[in-house]
Chains A and B, each alone.
Chain A
Amino acid sequence: MDEGSSEHKGRVAVITGGSGGIGNAIADRLQLEGASVTVMDLMPRAGGAKLESSSSPISFCQVDVAQEREVETAFKSVAAREGEIDYLICCAAIFHATPFLQLSGDEWKRTLEINLNGAFLCCREAIRYMRPRRFGRIILFSSMLARTGGKNSAHYSASKGGVLGLARSLALEVAGENIRVNTISPGVTDTPQPRDHLSEEELYGRGASIPLGRIGKVEDMVEGCLFLLGEESSYFTGQDLRINGGASLW
């Protein structure tokens, strides 16, 4: 399509949860496209491959996204180093499947802290740097479960539903400033996360009940993310891109 350089070249991107399956792949792809990428996560990137074709390696910032001061400091350091923040992609999330009556107050709170409060804190810091430049693209990862719910996932579903509400309200507040905020709601995806509670057979077996006949791939989410970051989605804000193989049609 674009014969010349990528529209993402030179963009400054922050990806939270960039050490996990989806965030990790988005970080690699954006770096390949020429963006300047910073990953914020509790743990360094496992695959952390330095791509030979790129000039600058992906920066890593050890952050607990639920800690207000840590998030502030991290964004300040990225902005100081890069001079700007163009993209924020929030993938940081935890999910341990737990039956409702076994959900401890601590697990409930920790899930909301990382998945929802973390997104809020990162959005707030990113907007501080996007607003003066009148440019910004924010993508928050929600989940199909935000709409459908799921057994043993009341805490996770609630946190991801909250992400949708956060994204829409923020989208309305900053729409006039050329800052677009959208969400992606993946169905079950081939990453380490669902392996916490599903065996390999169970995980791939899920594909049989999905109209397109397979579970999601990380690449499916990367393509959706690039679509929402780029000019192709120029008239999108507050929208939820549901990448689920037809598993849920709303």
Chain B
Amino acid sequence: MVVKASKVSIITGAASGLGRAAATRLAKRGDRVGLCDLNDSGLAETCSIIRGNGGEAISAIVDVRDGAAIKKWCGEVVNQLGKIDYLFSNAGVTSRGAVSDMEFDEWRRLIDTHVTGSFNVCQAALAHMVELGSGAIVVTSSDYAVIGMRYASNYAAAKTALYALTKALAVEFAPHGIRVNAVGPGPIDTPLLRSRGTQAEWQDRVRDYEARLPMQRLGQPEDVASVVDFLLSDRASYITGQLLQPNGGQVMW
């Protein structure tokens, strides 16, 4: 069986959007995957898609903000699947509102979920990767880490912090043979993006994206999953601390 030699990848925020697309793609290439999210039904659906494709997935309901729970989850993955080779730290939430009207709790919800959440899962996974002597991480940042964002200062701050965290981890863990990179997607058709407006507005928003984006189309989750696939492989063995931006040309720098 090839299975024993296969890689183990863990993915947070795997119930929908980028997390589901990446989990599905990594499982298709032969990785055994450990998934977590807070959305029970979405997570179950991701697992059933993967198993339907003949892949191997285990899942757990875990809140990335809970460091102890995350540590326990990573331990369980190692118990069941043997190791952790790759991490896609992707769990995130969105928000909308002007700075002047923003409640502190709403500010903190974004920072906690993205920044502290990613710190928690990176810290827990890295302990296992260091033991293994290899590994790679991809963190979901955003184009907004580079260009800022109107009416989502908390989201932009969180995503920029994640890019900084990525670079710090890259230099700290390079001596262990572990690479850490970020993806900075542009607008991608995910439940998170759709939730930033009403369903009635969606078609207008899509047309707006098509008119505004150089590539004249809204991104699909697979446009990002393929980048995660590349970065979480030996093909990217000399790439670390970088932000890769599947963004349809929205930002170039």
Task: Say whether B125 faces chain A, with CB atoms less than 8 Å apart.
Answer: no
A237-B249 CB under 8 A given contacts A212-B174, A223-B235, A243-B238: yes
Name the B residues within 8 Å of A212 (CB-CB): 174, 179, 238, 240
The residue in chain A whose Cβ has the minimal distance to the Cβ of B250 is A238
Mostly, the A contact residues are: mixed
Task: Say whether A52 faces chain B, with CB atoms less than 8 Å apart.
Answer: no
A237/B215 in contact, CB under 8 A? yes
CA distance A237 to B186 in the complex (A): 12
**Which residues of B (232-253) have their CB < 8 Å from a CB of A?**
235-242, 244-249, 252-253
A233-B246 CB under 8 A given contacts A238-B214, A249-B241: yes
B227/A237 in contact, CB under 8 A? no
B245/A175 in contact, CB under 8 A? no
Name the B residues within 8 Å of A237 (CB-CB): 214-215, 248-249
A232/B171 in contact, CB under 8 A? no
The residue in chain B whose Cβ has the minimal distance to the Cβ of A238 is B252
CA distance A176 to B240 in the complex (A): 31
Interface centre among A223, A231, A241, A249 (most CB of B within 10 A): A249
Task: Say whether A236 faces chain B, with CB atoms less than 8 Å apart.
Answer: yes
CA distance A1 to B225 in the complex (A): 14
Which of B222, B241, B249, B252 contacts A246, CB < 8 Å? Answer: B241
Interface centre among B238, B242, B253 (most CB of A within 10 A): B238
B229/A232 in contact, CB under 8 A? yes
A246-B170 CB under 8 A given contacts A175-B214, A237-B249: yes
Task: Say whether A47 faces chain B, with CB atoms less than 8 Å apart.
Answer: no
Task: Say whether B63 faces chain A, with CB atoms less than 8 Å apart.
Answer: no
Task: Say whether B175 faces chain A, with CB atoms less than 8 Å apart.
Answer: yes
A211/B238 in contact, CB under 8 A? no
What is the size, in residues, of chain A's interface with B at 8 Å between Cβ atoms?
33
Name the A residues within 8 Å of B94 (CB-CB): none
Name the A residues within 8 Å of B171 (CB-CB): 211, 246, 249
A234-B226 CB under 8 A given contacts A220-B238, A227-B235, A245-B240: yes
**Which residues of A (207-245) have their CB < 8 Å from a CB of B?**
211-213, 216-217, 220, 223-224, 226-227, 231-245
A224/B29 in contact, CB under 8 A? no
Hey, what's the 0/1 contact readout for A128-148 against B, CB within 8 Å counting as 1?
A: 000000000000000000000
A235/B252 in contact, CB under 8 A? no
Task: Say whether A11 faces chain B, with CB atoms less than 8 Å apart.
Answer: no
A235/B247 in contact, CB under 8 A? yes
Task: Say whether A171 faces chain B, with CB atoms less than 8 Å apart.
Answer: yes
B244/A232 in contact, CB under 8 A? no
Name the A residues within 8 Å of B214 (CB-CB): 171-172, 175-176, 237-238
Which of B179, B219, B236, B237 contacts A235, CB < 8 Å? Answer: B219
A235-B246 CB under 8 A given contacts A1-B29, A168-B252: yes
Hey, what's the 0/1 contact readout for B55-76 against A, CB within 8 Å counting as 1?
A: 0000000000000000000000
CA distance A207 to B2 in the complex (A): 35
**Which residues of B (193-216) have their CB < 8 Å from a CB of A?**
214-216
CA distance A220 to B235 in the complex (A): 7
Name the B residues within 8 Å of A235 (CB-CB): 185-186, 215, 219-220, 223-224, 246-248
A249/B235 in contact, CB under 8 A? no
Name the B residues within 8 Å of A1 (CB-CB): 29, 229
CA distance A176 to B217 in the complex (A): 9
Name the A residues within 8 Å of B244 (CB-CB): 236, 239, 241
Instruction: Jot down 13 A-B pairs with beta carbons below 8 A, ordered by A.
Output: A171-B214, A175-B215, A211-B240, A211-B241, A212-B238, A212-B240, A223-B237, A232-B229, A234-B223, A237-B214, A239-B244, A240-B252, A242-B239
Given A211-B171, A211-B241, A235-B223, 12 more A-B residue pairs with CB atoms under 8 Å apart are: A168-B252, A175-B214, A175-B216, A212-B238, A220-B237, A232-B229, A233-B227, A234-B223, A235-B247, A240-B252, A243-B238, A246-B241
Q: Which residues of B contact A (CB under 8 A)?
A: 29, 167, 170-171, 174-175, 179, 185-186, 214-216, 219-220, 222-224, 226-227, 229-230, 235-242, 244-249, 252-253
Q: Which residues of A contact B (CB under 8 A)?
A: 1, 168, 171-172, 175-176, 211-213, 216-217, 220, 223-224, 226-227, 231-246, 249
